[in-house]
Structure 1
Amino acid sequence: MNLKIEVSKVTNQADLDKAFAIREEVFINEQECPPELEWEFEEESTHFLAAVDGEPAGVSRWRKTEKGYKLERFAVLKNYRGHGVAQALVQAVLNDLPPKADYVYLHAQVQAVPLYKKFGFKKTGQQFDEAGIQHYKMVLQKS
């Protein structure tokens, strides 16, 4: 299957609404995350929307924290998993970070660890629970 995957920075409310709908479907409905934990830090985050053949398929965001730059809320709709959407989102977010982003990290769901390893992230610390799902903190290793 030859799908056209495009990732763009969210610059308008209509695309932000599409991104939020994907997060609601994946995190709240599918993974049963508490809604009150899902909707935080929205205004200070830079959001991304992935489309497959023009249809909304996945989302992600990054934000500056007191520790550095945190990549978050990677979600791909079930029908589009396994086609490279998540990889395209990770690459787009990394490409968008400021040049001074010297400490880049994320909290990876256990099943997503191999994805982030492909981009140079390394696990640090013990496995932990976040929103009822097991995660690892991962930090980008600069080459």
Structure 2
Amino acid sequence: MEIVRFTSGQHEFTTLSRRIRYQVFVEEQQVPESLEYDEFEDASLHYLVFSDGKAVATCRRRETSKGIKLERFAVVREARGMGAGELMIRHLLQEVLPLNRPVYLHAQVQVAGFYSKHGFVAKGPRFEEAGIGHYLMVYKREETA
């Protein structure tokens, strides 16, 4: 598997990413399309994971007033459990941790354990986003002596 970083102006990659997000969020999870694509598309850095030349996963990251937000993690059904999510989260953490800013995400309840395994800790109560239960999760940096 390989991961590619791109911006919204790179139309071929953007098309592939949007196709995955549409399949996972709009079709599978019934998120309204109007909520899936937002005003942050152009300000975000986007990522695609390719397996045997086929785009199988995507996510994005963006700067906010609170830190760096990781979001829109989506893996096509047939590629789940094959390591694409692991590759994305590890790659993003390698990129963002040296920036020394807080790193956070809104994790769907059913995948909060995945993010916990990668150093994220739930903060605050469960909340709804697009009709789906989420937790705010913040990356817990290792303490250095």
The 2-side partners of 1:96 and 1:34 are apart by: 31
The 1-side partners of 2:113 and 2:50 are apart by: 23
The 2-side partners of 1:65 and 1:21 are apart by: 25
Counterpart of 1:127 in structure 2 is 126
2:3 aligned with 1:7, yes or no? yes
| Alignment check: 8 A CA contact 1:106 1:139 kept | yes
The gaps in structure 1 that reach 5 residues or longer are none
Tell me the TM-score normalised to structure 2 length.
0.92
Q: How much does 1:98 deviate? A: 6.3
Give the match's secondary structure for 2:66.
Answer: coil
Between 1:89-98 and 1:130-139, the stretch displaced more is 89-98
Counterpart of 2:60 in structure 1 is 61
Q: Counterparts in 2 of 1:93-112, with a 5 A limit?
A: 93-97=92-96, 99-112=98-111
Q: How much does 1:53 deviate? A: 1.3
Letter in 2 for 1:113: A
- Closer, same or farther in 2 for the Cα pair 1:126/1:105, shift >3 Å? same
Letter in 2 for 1:69: I
**CA deviation map 1:2-46 (0-9, x unaligned):** xxx111102521011100110011001110001111111100000
Letter in 2 for 1:66: S
Letter in 2 for 1:36: S
- Closer, same or farther in 2 for the Cα pair 1:118/1:35, shift >3 Å? same
| Alignment check: 8 A CA contact 1:105 1:140 kept | yes
Counterpart of 2:47 in structure 1 is 48
| Alignment check: 8 A CA contact 1:76 1:86 kept | yes
Counterpart of 2:136 in structure 1 is 137
The gaps in structure 2 that reach 5 residues or longer are none
The 2-side partners of 1:114 and 1:45 are apart by: 25
Counterpart of 1:70 in structure 2 is 69
**CA deviation map 1:56-103 (0-9, x unaligned):** 100000000111100000000000001111111111221222622420
**Count of residues in correspondence between the two structures:** 139
The 2-side partners of 1:13 and 1:94 are apart by: 25
The 2-side partners of 1:17 and 1:99 are apart by: 30
The 2-side partners of 1:79 and 1:138 are apart by: 27
Q: Among all aligned residue pairs of Structure 1 and Structure 2, give the percentage whose two residues are the same amino acid.
A: 41
- Runs (4+) off by over 4 Å: none
